[in-house]
Each structure stands twice: as structure tokens, then as C-alpha cells.
A and B are shown apart, each in its own frame.
Chain A
Amino acid sequence: NAGVTQTPKFQVLKTGQSMTLQCAQDMNHEYMSWYRQDPGMGLRLIHYSVGAGITDQGEVPNGYNVSRSTTEDFPLRLLSAAPSQTSVYFCASSYSRIMYQETQYFGPGTRLLVL
């Protein structure tokens, strides 16, 4: 099992550029989510999904899009990057949303710098 994988590890973007952060898990987990962690801050939930075809907004969804066409993949799209989106992005997955807080696996993170 590779667990939760995220690509790329590090990315530099210019303001206005678009990109997709990839997240994949090979554990057949139904629940997946994206968080961002800003310097000196805790993690904040961006979007989450309880299964293929189902997504919902978290605490800070503006500027991000997600889709869940397969159980394994949950990409995060930045349509027009802004400096305020400079952050470390973590993807996580869990077998179920019930008690997900204790059972979710986090990926290693993608560090994004928007100039």
C-alpha cells in the first residue's frame, strides 16, 4: 500500500496561473478531504468528499474546485492562483466519514508558493 500520495511536492506559480494538486489513495477509502496549513496556523478544511461523485465545501472553499470521479483520486484545482493561496496543502482519506477524525491518513503535503 502506498497510502495517500500527493503530487507535486513543491510548486511555484505566478499570480493568475492555474494548476491541479493531485491526491490519490489505494486503500479504497470513501472519505477524502483537502486541508491547507498557513505559516503559524492550524489546518483548515477546504473541500471534502464522502464518495465518488459527491463533494462538499469546508471552511475555506473559495478559489478552489474539486471533483471525485473515482474512489481513488481527489484532485484540487486552483483556477486563478493568488498570493493568498501560498500554503502547504494536505490531502487526507478515511474509510468512512463516521469517526474519520481518528482514522484518516494524511498525505505528506504539497508546498505551494504563488508569486
Chain B
Amino acid sequence: DQQVKQNSPSLSVQEGRISILNCDYTNSMFDYFLWYKKYPAEGPTFLISISSIKDKNEDGRFTVFLNKSAKHLSLHIVPSQPGDSAVYFCAASGGSQGNLIFGKGTKLSVKP
């Protein structure tokens, strides 16, 4: 039973436009959510996070929105760049020391 779901395996966006990646979770005990980015043949790298006491966190071109009532979060990338092409994983945990539960990932392709 998947606790963290990324229902879109892939997303293609034109350079300069907005990319929106979605993630749903089922476990009400999750209170800390993160996005990781992964390039081929490399390990994942942390991108941005949000705790359950917030509904938005922004870092440059990246913004994560959290809707606790819907158990839904999204990552917005504006403007999208070809270098953003990668697999994006949504992850959740209970607290700052909890084990991470990952979604299956969404492959983002940003076309020039």
C-alpha cells in the first residue's frame, strides 16, 4: 500500500513555462515533506522541503505547496529550464528524524 503517490510518471514542459509536479500521501502522521531531484547515474539530491505547519515554501525558482486537508503537495518550477530535466521524487516522514517514504518519481523533461 503506497503511502506516498506520484501518479504522473512523466511530464514534458517547454522551456520558460511552469512545471507542476504533484504528490499525494495517505498517512496522517507525516508532518515533513521533501522533494529530491535525481539525474541519471547519480544519487538523489535534496531540493526543497516543507513542514506541516506551513502551506508554502519558496526557494528561488522552486515553490512547494502543501494542502493538508487534501493530503496533497505540489512542486512548482518557474521558469523551467532544460537543466531541470530529471526525475523528481516526493518524500515524507514523521518528524525531523523519521524514516523517509518515497514516491515512485516523476520524470520531467524541459524542452528548449
* Chain A residues in the interface with B (C-beta under 8 A): 4, 40-45, 48, 58-59, 90, 92, 97-109
Task: Tell me whether B103 and A90 are in contact (CB under 8 A).
Answer: no
Q: Which residue of B lies closest to A109 (CB)?
A: B43
Task: Tell me whether A108 and B41 are in contact (CB under 8 A).
Answer: yes
Q: CA of A104 to CA of B34 in the docked complex: distance in angstroms? A: 12
A58 in complex: contacting residue of B34, B44, B99, CB < 8 Å: B99
Give chain A residues whose Cβ lies under 8 Å from the Cβ of B101: 42, 59
- Contacts A102-B34, A102-B46; is A41 near B93 (CB within 8 Å)? no
- Contacts A42-B102, A45-B99; is A101 near B43 (CB within 8 Å)? no
* Chain B residues in the interface with A (C-beta under 8 A): 4, 6, 9, 32, 34, 41-46, 49, 89, 91, 93, 96-97, 99-105
Task: Tell me whether B100 and A101 are in contact (CB under 8 A).
Answer: yes
- Contacts A99-B96, A101-B34; is A44 near B102 (CB within 8 Å)? yes
Known: A103-B46, A109-B43. 18 other contacts (CB 8 A): A42-B89, A43-B89, A44-B102, A48-B99, A59-B101, A99-B96, A101-B34, A101-B49, A101-B93, A102-B46, A102-B49, A104-B46, A105-B43, A106-B42, A106-B43, A108-B41, A108-B42, A108-B43
